[in-house]
Amino acid sequence: ETIQIGTKSKQYNVFLGEGVCKDIPAFLTAHFPNLTRVLIMTDETVAKLHLDKILPLTKKWNPVVYTAPSGEKAKTFDIYYQALSTALENHLDRKSLILSLGGGAVGDLSGFVAASFMRGIPFIQIPTTILAHDSAVGGKVAINHPLGKNMIGAFYQPEAVFYDLELLTTLPATEIRSGFAEVIKHALIHDLSFYQWLKENIDDLQSLSIKQLSYSLIKGIKIKNDFVSKDERETGIRAYLNFGHTLGHAIEAEMGYGNFTHGESVMIGMIFALKLSQEIQGLSFNFAEFKAWVEKLGYETRIPKGLSAAQLLTKMKQDKKSIGETARFVLLEQIGKPVLREIDDSLLLDQMKNF
């Protein structure tokens, strides 16, 4: 399957399916006839599992590999600097290309390296996580600053995305759950019938069929693209993609990145936002049924013990999407109909206590 991703600044394709990586050499030959060299950027975990399948595909372009630490540790200034040093030491130039092999963290890092090396060289993503269906669309690339996640970055689009489902078979359960939370998010904010399909068809994330996985990813990618292409630089409706993320980010930060996955935090944030939506927006929704379903899928549905409501509130108000003194939430009027609301501290504290 080929999904066309369109923004005003650039169009590119996401090729999705089993074995799509095999088409990379032909793609490079067709689109980059003067390609001088390929830098493959990956992380330690993915390198061990999958580099042997990707490296031979680039043989013709004298590939060099940079391996970052796995997870969020890839998105530091130090690693960014090391990757650029590797590029310079190996004489990459403006006609070289970066191949990003990994999850969202490697994707964000390598996209930012590509955006800034010699004022920008092309890059191609080979996502290896479910969560990366989210990061592969939208053109946001970034590293972290000690004072904030994703604070140093750019908008930079890949030339193509090769989403090879064979690479996803090695994902551990927690990472499947993390990524699938964003699939569920995409359904909730945009597509009632997709949400119903998920609820009826997905009851075990560990035994997803290729068909279920590819349908879920294709839908998720298309929905993300719908929001982003209408709003490439986050002025309005792109904010709806933040559903579940106000509290989700706060939980993730309070737990310490890496201790509790992004998607698992966002799931708790979505449950909270759904509850607020019932209270404030009159959302009609079978809340108990939803909770039972996601619990069956293995998600935590309560705020982790030990996190204080007051501290979470402070974090939520620091969220860069909040203006000034009140926390901003994406709520749902209906499934598929998001709205943005500012919500008073007292109401939030109250709701968190009864959560």
| Residue 29 beta carbon to ligand NAD: minimum distance, rounded to whole angstroms | 26
Number of residues that bind ligand NAD (CB under 6 A): 30
> Around 190, how many Cα atoms within 13 Å sit in the side-chain half-sphere?
23
Per the DSSP assignment, residues forming a β-bridge with 329 are 341
Q: Can you tell me the distance from the alpha carbon of 355 to that of 337, in angstroms, rounded to the nearest whole number? A: 23
Does residue 54 interact with ligand NAD by CB under 6 A? no
Q: Name the region of 80 (left: φ>0; alpha: ψ -120 to 50; beta: rest).
A: alpha
Q: Is 70 one of the annotated binding-site residues?
A: yes
Does residue 49 interact with ligand NAD by CB under 6 A? yes
* 262 catalytically annotated: yes
Does residue 140 interact with ligand NAD by CB under 6 A? yes
Q: Is 337 one of the annotated binding-site residues?
A: no
Q: Which of residues 235-264 bind ligand NAD (CB under 6 A)?
A: 262
Stretch that binds ligand NAD, among 127-135, 186-194, 316-324, 342-350 (CB under 6 A): 127-135
* 133 catalytically annotated: no
Residue closest to 138 by CA, chosen among 240, 65, 55: 240
Among 110, 157, 178, 225, binds ligand NAD (CB under 6 A): 178
Show the binding pattern over residues 179-208: x = contacts ligand NAD (CB under 6 A), - = does not: ------------------------------
Which tokens in the block code for residue 295?
A: 């619990």
Stretch that binds ligand NAD, among 12-20, 113-121, 131-139, 190-198 (CB under 6 A): 131-139
Residues 50, 133, 245, 315: which is the catalytic one?
245
Q: What is the largest CA-CA distance in the chain?
A: 62
Q: Is 89 one of the annotated binding-site residues?
A: no
Instruction: With beta carbons less than 8 A apart as the criterion, state whether 99 and 126 touch.
Output: yes
* 119 catalytically annotated: yes
Which sign does the torsion angle of CA 208, 141, 5, 12 carry?
negative
Q: How far is CA 95 from CA 106, 199, 325, in A?
A: 22, 47, 47
Q: How far is CA 173 from CA 9, 19, 208, 347, 353, in A?
A: 36, 22, 11, 35, 30
Residues annotated within a binding site:
70-75, 104-108, 128-129, 140, 149, 182, 245, 262
Residues annotated within a binding site for NAD(+):
70-75, 104-108, 128-129, 140, 149
Interface residues with ligand NAD (CB under 6 A) are 43, 45-46, 49, 70-72, 75, 102-106, 108, 128-129, 131-132, 134-135, 138, 140, 150, 167-168, 170-171, 175, 178, 262
